[in-house]
Structure 1
Amino acid sequence: MTEFTHLVCPHCQAINRVPTPRLEQHPKCGQCHQPLFTGHPVELTNASFAKHLERNDIPLLVDFWAPWCGPCKMMAPAFVQAASALEPRVRLAKVNTDNEQTLGAQYNIRSIPTLVLFKGGREAARQAGAMTAQDIVRWVQ
Protein backbone atom coordinates (compact mmCIF):
# COMPACT_ATOMS: atom_id res chain seq x y z
CA MET A 1 0.00 0.00 0.00
CA THR A 2 1.39 3.38 -1.03
CA GLU A 3 1.70 6.17 1.49
CA PHE A 4 0.93 9.74 0.48
CA THR A 5 2.50 13.08 1.35
CA HIS A 6 0.46 16.29 1.32
CA LEU A 7 2.25 19.28 -0.21
CA VAL A 8 1.11 22.87 -0.68
CA CYS A 9 1.87 24.18 -4.17
CA PRO A 10 4.29 27.14 -3.97
CA HIS A 11 2.54 28.72 -7.00
CA CYS A 12 -1.23 28.39 -6.50
CA GLN A 13 -1.42 27.20 -2.84
CA ALA A 14 -3.41 24.08 -3.81
CA ILE A 15 -2.93 21.06 -1.56
CA ASN A 16 -1.56 18.06 -3.44
CA ARG A 17 -1.56 14.41 -2.36
CA VAL A 18 1.60 12.86 -3.79
CA PRO A 19 2.59 9.19 -3.44
CA THR A 20 5.59 9.38 -1.09
CA PRO A 21 7.84 7.25 -3.36
CA ARG A 22 7.27 9.83 -6.16
CA LEU A 23 8.59 12.82 -4.20
CA GLU A 24 12.03 12.43 -5.78
CA GLN A 25 10.50 12.37 -9.31
CA HIS A 26 9.77 16.13 -9.57
CA PRO A 27 5.99 16.02 -8.95
CA LYS A 28 3.75 18.74 -10.39
CA CYS A 29 0.70 20.43 -8.94
CA GLY A 30 -2.57 18.79 -9.93
CA GLN A 31 -4.23 22.21 -10.23
CA CYS A 32 -1.72 24.57 -11.92
CA HIS A 33 0.67 21.90 -13.27
CA GLN A 34 3.74 23.80 -11.99
CA PRO A 35 6.56 21.92 -10.20
CA LEU A 36 5.93 21.39 -6.48
CA PHE A 37 9.66 21.86 -5.85
CA THR A 38 11.64 24.56 -7.65
CA GLY A 39 14.98 24.53 -5.83
CA HIS A 40 14.11 27.98 -4.46
CA PRO A 41 12.54 29.07 -1.17
CA VAL A 42 8.85 30.03 -1.21
CA GLU A 43 7.98 33.61 -0.22
CA LEU A 44 5.34 33.39 2.51
CA THR A 45 2.92 36.07 3.70
CA ASN A 46 0.48 36.28 6.60
CA ALA A 47 -2.12 34.84 4.21
CA SER A 48 -0.09 31.82 3.05
CA PHE A 49 2.02 31.00 6.12
CA ALA A 50 -0.54 28.97 8.09
CA LYS A 51 -1.44 26.82 5.08
CA HIS A 52 2.19 25.91 4.43
CA LEU A 53 2.79 25.29 8.13
CA GLU A 54 -0.29 23.15 8.74
CA ARG A 55 -0.86 21.36 5.42
CA ASN A 56 2.65 20.32 4.30
CA ASP A 57 3.53 16.85 5.59
CA ILE A 58 7.25 17.59 5.24
CA PRO A 59 9.22 19.88 7.61
CA LEU A 60 9.13 23.62 6.87
CA LEU A 61 12.33 25.66 7.27
CA VAL A 62 11.62 29.40 7.42
CA ASP A 63 14.17 32.20 7.04
CA PHE A 64 12.88 35.31 8.82
CA TRP A 65 14.72 38.20 7.17
CA ALA A 66 14.51 41.88 6.12
CA PRO A 67 15.73 43.65 2.96
CA TRP A 68 17.88 46.16 4.88
CA CYS A 69 19.74 43.42 6.81
CA GLY A 70 23.33 42.86 5.60
CA PRO A 71 23.73 39.35 7.04
CA CYS A 72 20.32 38.41 5.55
CA LYS A 73 21.51 39.50 2.09
CA MET A 74 24.76 37.57 2.56
CA MET A 75 22.90 34.40 3.57
CA ALA A 76 20.25 34.55 0.80
CA PRO A 77 22.32 32.64 -1.84
CA ALA A 78 23.26 30.01 0.76
CA PHE A 79 19.58 29.53 1.62
CA VAL A 80 18.80 28.95 -2.07
CA GLN A 81 21.64 26.39 -2.26
CA ALA A 82 20.25 24.68 0.83
CA ALA A 83 16.82 24.50 -0.84
CA SER A 84 18.34 22.56 -3.74
CA ALA A 85 20.04 20.18 -1.31
CA LEU A 86 17.11 19.65 1.09
CA GLU A 87 14.13 19.41 -1.29
CA PRO A 88 11.92 17.34 -1.44
CA ARG A 89 12.53 16.26 2.17
CA VAL A 90 12.10 19.82 3.53
CA ARG A 91 10.19 22.85 2.19
CA LEU A 92 12.23 26.08 2.49
CA ALA A 93 10.49 29.42 2.80
CA LYS A 94 11.26 33.06 3.49
CA VAL A 95 9.30 35.62 5.50
CA ASN A 96 10.11 39.31 5.07
CA THR A 97 9.63 40.60 8.62
CA ASP A 98 9.23 44.20 7.40
CA ASN A 99 6.19 43.23 5.30
CA GLU A 100 4.89 40.51 7.63
CA GLN A 101 5.38 42.09 11.06
CA THR A 102 2.57 40.00 12.57
CA LEU A 103 4.46 36.77 11.82
CA GLY A 104 7.69 38.19 13.23
CA ALA A 105 5.88 39.08 16.45
CA GLN A 106 3.93 35.80 16.58
CA TYR A 107 7.15 33.78 16.42
CA ASN A 108 9.07 36.14 18.71
CA ILE A 109 11.74 36.97 16.12
CA ARG A 110 14.22 39.19 17.97
CA SER A 111 17.15 39.16 15.53
CA ILE A 112 17.50 38.46 11.83
CA PRO A 113 18.26 36.35 10.02
CA THR A 114 16.59 33.68 12.14
CA LEU A 115 15.92 30.18 10.83
CA VAL A 116 13.01 28.28 12.36
CA LEU A 117 12.42 24.61 11.57
CA PHE A 118 8.83 23.43 11.93
CA LYS A 119 7.83 19.76 12.04
CA GLY A 120 4.21 18.69 12.24
CA GLY A 121 3.15 22.33 12.46
CA ARG A 122 5.25 22.99 15.59
CA GLU A 123 8.59 24.69 16.09
CA ALA A 124 11.30 22.04 16.37
CA ALA A 125 14.46 24.17 16.28
CA ARG A 126 15.65 27.75 15.94
CA GLN A 127 18.97 29.30 14.90
CA ALA A 128 19.80 33.02 14.78
CA GLY A 129 22.55 34.44 12.58
CA ALA A 130 23.80 33.94 9.05
CA MET A 131 24.91 30.46 8.01
CA THR A 132 26.55 28.86 4.97
CA ALA A 133 24.59 26.43 2.80
CA GLN A 134 26.52 23.48 4.25
CA ASP A 135 25.81 24.67 7.79
CA ILE A 136 22.09 25.05 7.02
CA VAL A 137 21.88 21.54 5.55
CA ARG A 138 23.86 20.05 8.45
CA TRP A 139 21.73 21.90 11.03
CA VAL A 140 18.45 20.70 9.44
CA GLN A 141 19.61 17.10 9.19
Structure 2
Amino acid sequence: MTTDTRHLVCPHCHKVNRLPADKLASGGNCGACKQPLWPDHVLELTDQNFAVHTGRSDVPVLVDFWASWCGPCKMMAPQFEQAAREWRGKVRFAKLNTEQAQATAGQFAIRSIPTLILFQNGRELARQSGAMNQSQISQWLQSQGIR
Protein backbone atom coordinates (compact mmCIF):
# COMPACT_ATOMS: atom_id res chain seq x y z
CA MET A 1 0.00 0.00 0.00
CA THR A 2 1.40 3.40 -0.94
CA THR A 3 0.82 6.48 1.14
CA ASP A 4 -0.12 9.72 -0.60
CA THR A 5 2.62 12.19 0.40
CA ARG A 6 2.84 15.97 0.18
CA HIS A 7 5.73 18.40 0.39
CA LEU A 8 5.89 21.16 3.00
CA VAL A 9 8.86 23.53 3.32
CA CYS A 10 10.18 24.15 6.83
CA PRO A 11 9.74 27.82 7.80
CA HIS A 12 12.95 27.66 9.86
CA CYS A 13 15.64 25.83 7.85
CA HIS A 14 13.84 25.91 4.45
CA LYS A 15 14.26 22.15 3.86
CA VAL A 16 11.50 20.31 2.03
CA ASN A 17 9.70 17.74 4.20
CA ARG A 18 7.57 14.86 2.94
CA LEU A 19 4.44 14.16 4.96
CA PRO A 20 1.51 11.78 4.54
CA ALA A 21 -1.35 13.81 3.04
CA ASP A 22 -3.61 13.04 6.00
CA LYS A 23 -0.97 14.40 8.42
CA LEU A 24 -0.25 17.61 6.48
CA ALA A 25 -2.54 19.84 8.55
CA SER A 26 -1.02 18.74 11.85
CA GLY A 27 2.43 19.18 10.32
CA GLY A 28 4.62 17.93 13.11
CA ASN A 29 8.26 18.90 13.17
CA CYS A 30 10.90 19.28 10.47
CA GLY A 31 13.00 16.19 9.88
CA ALA A 32 16.15 18.32 9.57
CA CYS A 33 15.94 21.01 12.27
CA LYS A 34 13.13 19.53 14.46
CA GLN A 35 11.25 22.87 14.57
CA PRO A 36 7.46 23.03 14.04
CA LEU A 37 6.37 22.98 10.40
CA TRP A 38 3.35 25.18 11.26
CA PRO A 39 4.66 27.99 13.50
CA ASP A 40 2.34 30.47 15.21
CA HIS A 41 3.51 33.40 13.08
CA VAL A 42 3.49 34.52 9.46
CA LEU A 43 6.61 33.49 7.56
CA GLU A 44 8.99 36.29 6.48
CA LEU A 45 10.20 35.71 2.93
CA THR A 46 13.29 37.15 1.23
CA ASP A 47 14.72 37.13 -2.28
CA GLN A 48 16.80 34.14 -1.15
CA ASN A 49 14.05 31.88 0.25
CA PHE A 50 11.02 32.96 -1.81
CA ALA A 51 11.36 30.37 -4.60
CA VAL A 52 11.70 27.36 -2.31
CA HIS A 53 8.63 28.29 -0.26
CA THR A 54 6.37 29.15 -3.19
CA GLY A 55 7.73 26.53 -5.56
CA ARG A 56 8.40 23.42 -3.51
CA SER A 57 5.33 23.24 -1.27
CA ASP A 58 2.19 21.30 -2.15
CA VAL A 59 0.37 23.54 0.33
CA PRO A 60 -0.94 26.82 -1.09
CA VAL A 61 1.20 29.80 -0.05
CA LEU A 62 -0.46 33.21 0.34
CA VAL A 63 2.12 36.00 0.12
CA ASP A 64 1.47 39.55 1.31
CA PHE A 65 3.69 41.95 -0.66
CA TRP A 66 4.08 44.97 1.65
CA ALA A 67 6.39 47.78 2.79
CA SER A 68 7.05 49.34 6.21
CA TRP A 69 6.04 52.85 5.02
CA CYS A 70 2.65 51.66 3.71
CA GLY A 71 -0.28 52.66 5.95
CA PRO A 72 -2.78 50.17 4.51
CA CYS A 73 -0.14 47.42 4.84
CA LYS A 74 0.28 48.21 8.54
CA MET A 75 -3.49 48.24 9.03
CA MET A 76 -3.87 44.87 7.29
CA ALA A 77 -1.01 43.11 9.13
CA PRO A 78 -3.01 42.03 12.24
CA GLN A 79 -5.89 40.89 10.00
CA PHE A 80 -3.44 38.82 7.93
CA GLU A 81 -2.07 37.27 11.16
CA GLN A 82 -5.60 36.36 12.29
CA ALA A 83 -6.40 34.80 8.92
CA ALA A 84 -3.13 32.83 9.12
CA ARG A 85 -4.27 31.31 12.42
CA GLU A 86 -7.67 30.48 10.93
CA TRP A 87 -6.13 28.76 7.89
CA ARG A 88 -3.27 27.05 9.76
CA GLY A 89 -2.65 23.61 8.31
CA LYS A 90 -4.35 24.48 5.00
CA VAL A 91 -2.51 27.56 3.67
CA ARG A 92 0.97 28.86 4.48
CA PHE A 93 0.82 32.65 5.08
CA ALA A 94 3.93 34.64 4.28
CA LYS A 95 5.03 38.28 3.90
CA LEU A 96 7.56 39.77 1.53
CA ASN A 97 8.90 43.26 2.23
CA THR A 98 9.05 44.84 -1.24
CA GLU A 99 11.70 47.36 -0.13
CA GLN A 100 14.08 44.61 1.03
CA ALA A 101 13.23 42.07 -1.68
CA GLN A 102 13.09 44.31 -4.73
CA ALA A 103 14.16 41.56 -7.15
CA THR A 104 11.23 39.33 -6.25
CA ALA A 105 8.77 42.24 -6.14
CA GLY A 106 9.95 43.23 -9.61
CA GLN A 107 9.69 39.66 -10.90
CA PHE A 108 5.98 39.67 -9.99
CA ALA A 109 5.41 43.24 -11.25
CA ILE A 110 4.13 44.51 -7.93
CA ARG A 111 2.77 47.99 -8.68
CA SER A 112 0.65 48.63 -5.59
CA ILE A 113 0.76 47.38 -2.05
CA PRO A 114 -0.52 45.55 -0.23
CA THR A 115 -0.90 42.89 -2.91
CA LEU A 116 -1.75 39.29 -2.04
CA ILE A 117 -0.64 36.51 -4.39
CA LEU A 118 -1.67 32.88 -3.91
CA PHE A 119 0.90 30.32 -5.09
CA GLN A 120 0.87 26.55 -5.31
CA ASN A 121 3.68 24.38 -6.65
CA GLY A 122 5.43 27.40 -8.16
CA ARG A 123 2.39 28.71 -10.00
CA GLU A 124 0.57 31.96 -9.32
CA LEU A 125 -3.08 31.00 -8.83
CA ALA A 126 -4.57 34.42 -8.07
CA ARG A 127 -3.75 37.95 -6.96
CA GLN A 128 -5.60 40.73 -5.18
CA SER A 129 -4.45 44.29 -4.49
CA GLY A 130 -5.65 46.43 -1.61
CA ALA A 131 -6.03 45.97 2.12
CA MET A 132 -8.48 43.33 3.32
CA ASN A 133 -9.73 42.27 6.73
CA GLN A 134 -9.64 38.70 8.03
CA SER A 135 -13.11 37.87 6.74
CA GLN A 136 -12.36 39.24 3.28
CA ILE A 137 -9.10 37.26 3.11
CA SER A 138 -10.96 34.07 4.02
CA GLN A 139 -13.73 34.73 1.51
CA TRP A 140 -11.14 35.44 -1.19
CA LEU A 141 -9.30 32.17 -0.44
CA GLN A 142 -12.58 30.26 -0.61
CA SER A 143 -13.42 31.94 -3.92
CA GLN A 144 -10.11 30.51 -5.24
CA GLY A 145 -11.25 26.98 -4.35
CA ILE A 146 -9.20 26.70 -1.17
CA ARG A 147 -11.06 24.86 1.57
Which consecutive unaligned segments of at least 5 residues does structure 1 have?
none
**Aligned-pair distance for 1:27?**
1.2
Match of 2:132 in 1: 131
Cα offsets for 1:8-51 (capped at 9, x unmatched): 10001111001111123341101111110113211011110011
Higher normalized helix content (fraction of residues):
1
Quote the Cα distance in structure 2 between the aligned partners of 1:25 and 1:122: 24
Does the CA contact (< 8 Å) of 1:8 and 1:51 recur in 2? yes
Which consecutive unaligned segments of at least 5 residues does structure 2 have?
143-147
**Aligned-pair distance for 1:56?**
0.4
Q: Which moved more, 1:15-24 or 1:60-69?
A: 15-24
Number of aligned residues: 141
**Aligned-pair distance for 1:119?**
2.2
Quote the Cα distance in structure 2 between the aligned partners of 1:25 and 1:55: 19
Cα offsets for 1:87-122 (capped at 9, x unmatched): 211111100000001111110100000000112311
Quote the Cα distance in structure 1 between the aligned partners of 2:135 and 2:19: 28
Match of 2:55 in 1: 54
Does the CA contact (< 8 Å) of 2:26 and 2:89 recur in 1? no
Compute the RMSD of aligned alpha carbons.
1.0
Quote the Cα distance in structure 2 between the aligned partners of 1:21 and 1:109: 35
Match of 2:32 in 1: 31
Pair 1:3-2:14 in alignment:
no
Match of 2:104 in 1: 103
Residue 30 of structure 1 aligns with an amino acid whose one-letter code is G
Query: Given the two structures, how large is their TM-score scaled by the length of structure 2?
Result: 0.92
The 3-state SS of whatever aligns with 1:63 is strand
Does the CA contact (< 8 Å) of 1:39 and 1:80 recur in 2? no
